[in-house]
Amino acid sequence: MRVDFLRQGRRKLRTGAILTSLFLIVVLMGALAPALGAKPDPSDFSRGFRKAVTVSGAQEHRAALQAIADANEGTRASGTAGYDQSAQYVYERLEAAGYSPEFQTFEFPFYRELSTPVFERTDVEPDKSYAPGTDFATMTYSGSGNVTAAVSAVDLIIPPGAAANTSTSGCETSDFAGFAAGSIALIQRGTCTFAIKATNAQTAGASAVVIFNEGQPGRTGVVAGTLGAPGYDIPVIGTTFAIGNELSNSVLNGLTGTEAHVKTETESEIRETVNVIAETATGDPNRTVVIGAHLDSVIAGPGLQDNGTGSAGNLEIAETFAAQDRVASNRLRFIWFGAEELGLLGSRYYVDNLSQAERDQILLNLNFDMIGSPNFVRFVYDGDGTTGPAGPPGSGSIEDVFVDYFDSQGLASEPTPFNGRSDYGPFIAVGIPAGGLFTGAEGIKTPAQAVTYGGTAGTAYDPCYHQACDTFANLSLTGFDQMLDAAAHATLFFSKTKSNVDTNTAPVGATGTGGGGGLHDEAHEQDAS
| Interatomic CA distance for residues 76 and 302, integer angstroms | 6
| Interatomic CA distance for residues 491 and 289, integer angstroms | 8
Length of the chain: 529
In terms of Cα–Cα distance, which of 460, 442, 441 is closest to 450? 460
Whether the CB-CB separation of 426 and 348 falls below 8 Å is answered with yes
∠308-317-431 over CA atoms, to 5°? 80
Q: Rg of the chain over CA atoms, in angstroms?
A: 29
Where residue 160 falls (left for φ over 0; alpha for ψ -120 to 50; beta otherwise) is: beta
One-letter amino acid of 471 = T
| Interatomic CA distance for residues 304 and 482, integer angstroms | 18
Beta strands in 280-323 (DSSP E): 284-294
Long-range contacts for 254-257 (Cβ within 8 Å, ≥24 apart)?
254/152, 254/153, 254/178, 255/150, 255/151, 255/152, 255/153, 255/180, 255/183, 256/150, 256/151, 256/152, 256/153, 256/186, 257/123, 257/150
Element housing 314 (H / E)? helix 308-323
∠136-141-147 over CA atoms, to 5°? 60
Q: Which one-letter DSSP state was computed for residue 111?
A: E
Other Cβ atoms closer than 10 A to 409:
15
Among 340, 358, 399, 442, the one annotated catalytic: 340
279 is catalytic: no
Per-residue CA distances from 34 to 28, 31, 96, 269 (Å): 11, 7, 41, 62
Other Cβ atoms closer than 10 A to 523:
10
| Interatomic CA distance for residues 496 and 489, integer angstroms | 11
Greatest alpha-carbon pair distance for the chain in Å reads 118
Contacts of 81 (CB under 8 A, 6+ apart): 72
| Cα dihedral 500→502→508→509 (10° resolution) | 160
| Interatomic CA distance for residues 473 and 422, integer angstroms | 23
Q: What positions carry a catalytic annotation?
A: 340
